[in-house]
Chains A and B, each alone.
Chain A
Amino acid sequence: DAGVTQSPTHLIKTRGQHVTLRCSPISGHKSVSWYQQVLGQGPQFIFQYYEKEERGRGNFPDRFSARQFPNYSSELNVNALLLGDSALYLCASSSVGSGGIRSTDTQYFGPGTRLTVL
């Protein structure tokens, strides 16, 4: 089975532009989360979506938005790019049991999209 896939792998943008990053979860996984990993730091949570609804949001400005489609794939959008948005953006998917999202759910990460803002 294919793992989590993300596209594109690399992206170069200039300040003020807009970017869209895409993620396809593992087949059967209905939850997708997005993380930002700045060089030299651990990943920081941005969003979690489950059944096409936003279930959690990290401490990121409104320039960051996301959505989940009926096939459970997801897009992360960032508007008005800043130099500080340069990072590796990671997508993770997880299966969810009948009891809903649990802290024990394993999140499987994709390889990431490396965004460089010039």
Chain B
Amino acid sequence: AQSVTQLDSHVSVSEGTPVLLRCNYSSSYSPSLFWYVQHPNKGLQLLLKYTSAATLVKGINGFEAEFKKSETSFHLTKPSAHMSDAAEYFCVVRMDSSYKLIFGSGTRLLVRP
């Protein structure tokens, strides 16, 4: 069975400092992995996705994530946080044999001025 664990429910950073949101997955096969962001009262927006083409994936708004099979991790990073990055972030896994996206419980990113 597939599952996703987001290791931090809340992360607080100062504006201009690096962001690290941690995600570990459990899967029997090579999964497709995604990061989505949800701003208050808005829908989910895709930040980036891993589809086995390259282990380092670049997304929108300066975010990137690295797929590490040995560690079953897919952590999201950004070199410099902006106030507009404050939102809820979801790590998501999906298998070829399943039609559904499996979401983690989310990490709320707070950005201090």
A residues with CB within 8 A of B: 4, 33, 35, 41-45, 48, 55-56, 58, 90, 92, 101-104, 106-112
Contacts and interface: CB of A to CB of B under 8 A. Distances in A.
Interface residues of B, number: 25
Given A109-B44, A110-B43, A112-B43, A103 B96 contact: yes
A41 B45 CA distance: 16
29 contacts: A4-B43, A33-B100, A35-B101, A42-B90, A43-B103, A44-B103, A45-B102, A48-B100, A55-B99, A56-B98, A56-B99, A56-B100, A58-B100, A92-B44, A92-B101, A102-B96, A103-B31, A103-B32, A103-B95, A103-B98, A104-B51, A106-B34, A108-B46, A109-B36, A110-B43, A111-B41, A111-B42, A111-B43, A112-B43
